[in-house]
Amino acid sequence: MRKTPLVLLAILAAVATACSNGDSGPAPSKAATPAATTVSAAPATTTAKGDCGADYLAKLTLREKLGQLLTVGVTGADDATNVVRNSQVGGIFVGGWTDKSLLADGLIKQVASAAKVSLMVTIDEEGGRVSRVKDLIGPAPSARVTAQTMTAEQFHDATVTRGRALKDLGVTVDFAPDVDVSSQPDDSVIGDRSFSDDPAVVTEFADAYIRAMNEIGVGTVMKHFPGHGSGSGDSHTGAVRTPPLTQLQSVDLVPFRNLVDSGAAVMVGHLDVPGLTTSDVPASISPQAMALLRDGTGYGASPFQGPIFTDDLGGMAAITSRMSIEDAVEAALVAGADNALWITTDAVPRVLDRLEQAVSSGRLPADRVDASVLRMARFKGALPSC
């Protein structure tokens, strides 16, 4: 992967002129029972009650706080245990390449025991062609087929059953639902991962999914803000340009606007958005995109109080063709993301070295780090009384 100094200069210039509100106070999940791998999907408020936030932060060194803002893909139990024990990452990601004995044989408990604070165990189990554990819990139809063949309440009930199966395996967060609004062909990058080309239908079915997962205590993450459904291509293979922000307002942004208070987190995509992002700075590392979501005023929504995740920063050419993983993670967190996602563990020490330098230099304010750590803790159900 190569660095692109012009991109970095553009990011720094954007940070200097745009407020991401990433240092706004974290807020509260509804009451949940704390556990090493239990996530509360309820929304959070902006201030911690009492000293529980301070007590939580006091458990962690600066490097460990920064680790809490990372979610990384793992190959199996040993890889996961090592990265959790040595770097105290906030989450691990189970992908198609992961040895499924990590979940099937209950080895996730071994991994969680290496964490000083609650660990997220994440997956992107959408159904259809994006399904990591269908061999363990059975297949599910794609979002598009679901919306064509079920009512929203039938989908809710089916999701409760499937969500419980995920939770029984040890999964605590699912990077779903996909709330992109799309009429693309089924096999395109979004395609049948979208419930519909009608924002109202997408909202209805995504709401059913989120409600079901909230009920059983598995976190959800809406994606890909501000909307990938009409993008010019596939961010896995290169840069993607969306329609202008003015056009996204009436279609792509509608489900996010409708569901901003649902308790789901939000994943920001690697999307170049005319009228929003600086040239050559995709939304996942853009202060303007983070501010749009966090403030809400730019698209008529309530301020978003939950965690902001990036899409994969290490395996998608929309990022990797522009910058290294160290550059990308720093840029994302400086822009206002709470959690940087990528799919391997080997770069974690280098990323943490870079992030410590960013805090030391003031590029990444320490209070912003603390706010993100607490926001993630509430999403994980680790601060139920705050």
Domain ranges for the chain: 5-26+39-379
Measured between alpha carbons, how far is 132 from 305 in angstroms, rounded to an integer? 29
Q: How far apart are CA 98 and CA 331, in angstroms?
A: 27
**270 within 8 A of 335, measured Cβ to Cβ:** no
Could you give the CA distance from residue 356 to residue 366 in angstroms, rounded to a whole number?
10
Local structure of 180: helix, strand or coil: coil
Is residue 311 among the annotated active site residues?
yes
Task: Determine contact, residues 304/24, Cβ cutoff 8 Å.
Answer: no
Is residue 78 annotated as a catalytic residue, yes or no?
A: no
Nearest by Cα to 337 from 274, 292, 280, 273: 292
Q: 27-69 pLDDT, tens per residue?
A: 333 333 333 334 444 334 344 445 789 999 999 999 999 999 9
Classify burial at 269, counting beta carbons within 10 Å of its beta carbon; exposed 0-12, middle 13-18, buried 19 or more: buried
Structure pTM?
0.87
Q: Say which of 252, 311, 338, 370 is annotated catalytic.
A: 311
Of the residues 186, 198, 236, 261, only one is catalytic, namely 236
Task: For residue range 283-324, list pLDDT tens digits in order.
Answer: 999 999 999 999 999 999 999 999 999 999 999 889 999 999
CATH number 3.40.605.10 is the correct assignment for the domain at 5-26+39-379: no
Q: What is the pLDDT of residue 9?
A: 41
Closest C-alpha among 247, 136, 148, 224 to residue 192: 148
Please, are residues 278 and 18 in contact by the beta-carbon 8 Å criterion?
no
- Reply yes or no on whether the pLDDT at 267 is more than 90: yes
Q: Do 100 and 136 contact (CB within 8 A), yes or no?
A: yes
Distance between CA 74 and CA 84 in Å, rounded?
10
Which of 351, 348, 345, 282 has the alpha carbon at shortest distance from 310? 282
Q: What is the pLDDT of residues 236-246, one digit of tens each?
A: 888 899 999 99
At 333 the pLDDT is 98
What average pLDDT does the structure give for the chain?
A: 89
Task: Render pLDDT for 79-93 as a digit per residue (tens, 0 to 9).
Answer: 999 999 999 999 999
pLDDT of residue 22: 35
> Binning pLDDT at 50, 70 and 90, where does residue 162 land?
very high
Higher-confidence residue of 335 and 384: namely: 335
